[in-house]
Structure 1
Amino acid sequence: MIKMFGKKKTVEEQLRDQDRQMKRTQRELTRDRTKMEQEEKKLEMEIKKAAKQGNKQACNILAKQLVQMRKQKNRSYATSSTITSVGLKTKGMHANMKMANAMGKTAQTMGKVNKQMDPKRMAQIMQQFEQESTKMEMSEEMINDTMDSVLSEPGDEEEEDQIVSQVLSEIGVSMSGKLSGVNVPSHDVGESNREYDDIEAKLNALRAPAE
């Protein structure tokens, strides 16, 4: 006879089964407590009835049954509390297992990356990249200079001078054709010379006593 083995359940499936079983047990305990509460009320009524009749023996027997009933109900509450606590602990342990597994996988990935990463090789690659980048910039500059020299035409300098003169005139500055100096009117030069002579005379007057 061939035995058929079922597929092994995963941890998540086992937890779901356990959770369903715990909920089922809790419902059964709740039903039992409801019945015990009903029985408890009946016993209380019977005790009152026996007390009115003056039947002390019946009161004692019923009182003992009531005490046992209440103890059983308290044990039922304690059991429910324990089941709930176990369920919470189980879920907490499962969450910790998930985090541990995730951390383990991450550590493995980091280990693989570290094995593949050679610091010396990385430094060489970065240095090579920098060198090639510098070469590219130099090549681009040489190409641009060559293109400028090839594409430049006679008269470019004159056109550039005209543009410069136009810009300077727009901002109120008058320059010579080759930017040699500022064109200053003659009367302004004369005034500047006179001011300079006056300052020089005053300085000579201040130095005279000392000499």
Structure 2
Amino acid sequence: MRRLAKEGQIQAVRHLAKDIVRMKDNQTKFIKLKAELRSLSAQMDSMAATAQLQKSMRSVSRTMGMVANQIKLPELQASLQKYAMESEKMEMKQDMINEAMDDVMEHDTDDEDELIQKVMDDVGLEWNEKLVDAPAKEKQQEEKEDEVDTDLQARLNNLKR
């Protein structure tokens, strides 16, 4: 009896093993089917986009044909030439106006310097002397900064030792 029980168990195990193998095969087939469906879906989307593009291109080509029939090339060329001539005239006028404005607005710097000097004299300021001293002060500041830099460098060298 034991032997029959063992044979029954072995047959049950074989049957379960066959079921497991069939399930794994079905799972693999299902995964392949799913991939194929996704591929088909992508192809269908691509085909729909291509169809829409073709429809749009047909519409554009019809429109371009209608526009080409309504535009007369000689008239268009004449209009463009007229526009170019008017544009050149306008540019020349603008240049003349700019030159006239430059001539009107041109300053005499010597007269301005004399006027500034008179105003400074009236106020009591010495214009030229103050300007001469200005760069010297900047040089002194630069020398002080150089001294600070060398001092910091010396300290840094001492710390490294």
Provide TM-score, normalisation by structure 1. Answer: 0.37
Q: Which has the larger radius of gyration?
A: 1
Provide TM-score, normalisation by structure 2. Answer: 0.47
